[in-house]
Amino acid sequence: QRMFTAVNSNVTDVSFFLPGTSTAATTSAFGLIFTDVEIFGGTKLEFFDENNVLLYNRNAWVAGNQGLTFLGAVADAGERISRVRITAGANTITANGKLGNPNDDVVVMDDFLYAEPISQSIPEPSTFVLLTLGLLGGFTLRRTHS
């Protein structure tokens, strides 16, 4: 079983890059599963665009001791997600595996899900532009071979 948490912090920032590169990218969807959310308001996701403007934030639902909670969002109005800030409860785990505060609950993460990151530096051509270029190329090719 593999769980994730930040060390010495309850905050994790997730930034997106083109696969196999250091080229910044954005995505249209992100979600994850939290384990052990017992207190409402202490665990949340914040979604930011490429200008670091907050797009959306949401608190995770309480699932109880060792329960699972899914939290995520889809940018369905053309927004692009550049960074997600994950706040996982109020407690921390130190580098030696001990709790930062033995009285607070520990929330950990599992199963990150996201849409394929795409680069913002190369705009995607529209279908109409591609169709027009294809027709012009076919017409030109046919004309030169006639």
Q: What is the pLDDT of residues 41-66, one digit of tens each?
A: 989 999 999 999 999 999 999 988 88
CA gap 4, 9 in Å, rounded:
12
Question: How many H-runs (helices) and E-runs (strands) does the chain carry?
Answer: 1, 7
Q: Give the confidence band of 100 by pLDDT, cuts at 50, 70, 90.
A: confident
Higher pLDDT, 123 or 104: 104
Q: Tell me what pLDDT residue 80 has.
A: 94
Q: Tell me what pLDDT residue 143 has.
A: 54
Residue 100 backbone zone (phi > 0: left; psi -120 to 50: alpha; other: beta):
alpha
CA gap 108, 5 in Å, rounded:
5
E-state strands within the chain: 11-15, 29-35, 44-48, 54-59, 68-74, 83-87, 108-114
Give me the phi and psi of 144, to 5 degrees please.
-75, -20
E-state strands within 18-89: 29-35, 44-48, 54-59, 68-74, 83-87
Contact 59, 52 (CB under 8 A): no
